[in-house]
Amino acid sequence: MLTHADLYSLEQYARVRSDFRTSVIAHKKNRRVALGENAALYFEDALTMQYQVQEMLRLERMFEPEAIQEELDVYNPLIPDGSNWKATFMLEYSDAEERRLALARLIGIEKTVWLQVGEFPRVRPFVNEDLDRATDDKTSAVHFMRFELKPEMVAAAKAGTAIYAGIDHPAYPVTTRVPEAVRASLSADLA
């Protein structure tokens, strides 16, 4: 969990923002798993959340301790706690009309996403625990997911076992092996 002590003041952040942003972008390259051409999982961790908080504080010019704590309270739940992975699932369509049609066609897709460590059973995520993001007419382009792992899965992932990701939705079936650099980054999230 992030605390006030983990954050730069607004003045400090103004000085380090460019370098910090560059390092976070490089870090995020090993936190993304493409699921076909139009979907991806973006795995969160303390660094990605620190960046989000710092940017919110900068944008809103927040420096009061209570306001900073409110931001920490929003983003801390997205940091994995050693037995899980937390990700932002995004459906990515650049054309607005194509996106509208896809979101209507892909209702329920968020419930069909999965991760798998080696030969262990697939792990389905807890989705949108903060609020429901889908309607009867369409799914959302963004969903927040928590993948809870059993201790033996954690041990296997940390030992270098392959990780797979996929979607079982009839309109968007996909399976992929998580790239090694991403697998290594995700394994570092585990205790």
Q: Give the tens place of pLDDT for each residue, 84-104.
A: 999 999 999 999 999 999 999
Of the candidates 126, 108, 97, which has an alpha carbon nearest to the alpha carbon of residue 171?
108
Cβ 34 vs Cβ 40: under 8 Å:
yes
Could you give phi then psi for residue 114, rounded to 5 degrees? -150, 160
Task: Give the β-pairing of 163-167 and 113-117.
Answer: antiparallel
| Angle in degrees, 0-180, between the axes of helices 46-60 and 10-28, rounded to the nearest 10 | 140
Task: Domain ranges for the chain, please list them.
Answer: 4-187
pLDDT bucket at 137, cuts 50 / 70 / 90 = confident
Q: Tell me the average pLDDT across 144-150.
A: 97
- The reported pLDDT for the residue numbered 57 is 94
Rounded to two decimals, the pTM is 0.90
